[in-house]
Structure 1
Amino acid sequence: MTRNQKAGRLEVGGRSVSTWWRELAKIKDGVGNVGGSWFADRVASWVGSGTDTLFWQDRWLGDVPLCRRFSRLFDLSIYKSSTVAEMFSLGWEEGGAVWGCRRRLWDWEEQMIGECRRLLDDFVVQTDVSDRWQWLPDTSSGYTVRGAYHILAHQVQQIDDDIRELVWHKHVPAKVSILAWRLLRDRLPTRNNLLRRGIIHPTAKYYVTGCGNDETAPHLFFHYNTFGALWQHIRH
C-alpha cells in the first residue's frame, strides 16, 4: 500500500494536494470524463489477499461491482467499506457475520444473499499474494497510454455519430441542420472566427452589443443574456 492509497482506493488528500492528483482520482472514479466511468469500467481487481480490494465497491467478482449487482444488500449492509480480506475473516458462509444488515431481511432479500454466497463458494483468499489491478482491454500487456487513447477516440467518434444522426434527421429542415452542424463545428462566421481568418481587424472582435466579451459561438447562442434566454422560452 502506498501513501496515496487506502484499502484499494486513491486518497485525494487535503487542500495541499496537487490539482493533477485530484484530476487523476476523478478519472479513476469516472467523474467528469467522456463516456462516463470509462476507466473504472475497464479495470478489475485480481484478488490475492484481499487487503486492497473493497468487497462491495470494487469490480473483482463478475462483470460489475457487487454493490451494483446486489444493490439492495449493499444498501442494507453495515460493512459498506470493508475489504475482501475483512469480509472473509467475518465469514460469508450461511449465517456469517458478513450478512449483518440494518434490519431483518425479507424472504426475497434472503434469497439474494443465497445468490451472492454461491458466487463466493469457489473463491479462496491467498494471504501471501498481493492484490493487483487488471486492465481488461489488454490483460497480457496491461495499461498503455496508446491503448487508452484509442478507447477514448472511439468513444468520441461514437458520440459524434450519435450527434450526426440527431442533426441530420429527415424531419429537420435542411437549413436548420446546416446551422446546427456549423454551430457544433464552430464554423459560423462569428467575429472571433472572422478575426482568426484575418477577415476583420482585431479591434472588431468584441460582441456587437458592446458587452465586452469576444463574439464566439457559445457566447452568441447560449451565454449572452438576451439570446440565451430564448432557449428557456423554447424549452417551456
Structure 2
Amino acid sequence: MDVHDIFDVVIESGKQTLFWYDPWLGSGNLKAKYPSLFELESRKRCRVSDRIVDSTHVWRWKSRPVVLGLDSAVSALSRDISNIRLGTGSDHWSCKLSVDGRYSVSSLRKIVDATHVNIPGTSDILWCKAVPIKVLCFVWRAAQDRIPTAMALEKRGIVVNSNLCCSCIGIPECTGHVLMDCSFATVIRNNILG
C-alpha cells in the first residue's frame, strides 16, 4: 500500500503543492506522466500556483517544446489542468479512508485487516493488551518461523557449528523443536505451568 492510496492532495491556493512532484491531479504525479516536459522545465520544484495564474498557464521551459516536437504533450498537459481554479485557502491532504477526510489509525487498521495476507498458523494469535508486547512479538515471530534457531540461521546463510539441538543431540534445532519438542523445553514448560 502506497501513501497515495491513502491520501489525496486537495488544491486550494496551489502555494503548498509542487506542480511536478505531488500527485495533485488524479493518480500519480505530472513528472511521471509528462517526463519530456519535466526535463524541459527550468524550475522543477515549482508550485501549482507558479504554473496556473488567473486561469492562465505560465510555463518556464529551458527551450521551446514546439522545436522539440512536444507541442502535443504541452496541449495534453494544458487540457489536464484546464479545469483547475485556484482559491485562497491552504492546500491540504485528505484521507481517502474516511468520509470526513481525516486520518485515523482505526481507519487504516480496518483496511489492513481486510486486505492482509493470512500467514498459516498466525490466525490464532490475538493481540491482547494484557500480555507484554515483547511476548506477543515473540509468539508472532515463532508462528512465522522467524526465531533465530540453528536451522533458521543456517537458512539465512549464517555459519553455525551445528544445526542440531544442544540438549537433544541428534535432532535438528528448529522453532517447533525448541519451543515444544525439546526435552529441556518440556521440563521448563512443566515447571512454569506447574
Report the counterpart of residue 77 of structure 2 in structure 1: 116
Superimposed CA distance per residue, residues 60-91 of structure 1 (whole angstroms, 9 cap, x where no aligned partner) = 11222111222222233222111111222498
Give the 4+ runs in structure 1 shifted more than 6 A.
Answer: none
TM-score, structure 1 as length reference: 0.49
State the shift of 1:58 in Å. 0.9
> Does 1:133 find its partner at 2:67?
no
Question: 37, 43, 59: which one pairs with 2:7?
Answer: 43
Q: Which moved more, 1:137-146 or 1:48-57?
A: 137-146
1:49/1:85 contact within 8 Å kept: yes
- Give the AA of the match of 1:83: R
Cα distance in structure 2, aligned partners of 1:66 and 1:216: 50
Cα distance in structure 2, aligned partners of 1:42 and 1:133: 10
Report the counterpart of residue 53 of structure 1 in structure 2: 17
2:14/2:49 contact within 8 Å kept: yes
State how many pairs are aligned.
Answer: 139
> Does 1:145 find its partner at 2:105?
yes
Cα distance in structure 2, aligned partners of 1:71 and 1:59: 14
Specify which structure has the bigger relative contact order, considering alpha-carbon pairs within 8 angstroms and separated by 6 or more residues. Answer: 2
Question: Structure 1 vs Structure 2: percent identity of aligned residues?
Answer: 20
SS of alignment partner, residue 61 of structure 1: coil
Higher helix share: 1
Cα distance in structure 2, aligned partners of 1:156 and 1:83: 37
Cα 1:139/1:69, change in 2 over 3 Å: farther
Cα 1:70/1:129, change in 2 over 3 Å: same
Cα 1:54/1:153, change in 2 over 3 Å: same
Question: 24, 30, 44: which one pairs with 1:66?
Answer: 30
1:51/1:83 contact within 8 Å kept: yes
Report the counterpart of residue 220 of structure 1 in structure 2: 154
1:56/1:65 contact within 8 Å kept: yes
- Give the AA of the match of 1:71: P
SS of alignment partner, residue 142 of structure 1: coil
SS of alignment partner, residue 138 of structure 1: coil
Greater gyration radius? 2
Superimposed CA distance per residue, residues 74-114 of structure 1 (whole angstroms, 9 cap, x where no aligned partner) = 23322211111122249853xx4x2513575522x221111
- Across the aligned residues of Structure 1 and Structure 2, the Cα RMSD in angstroms comes to 3.3
SS of alignment partner, residue 133 of structure 1: strand
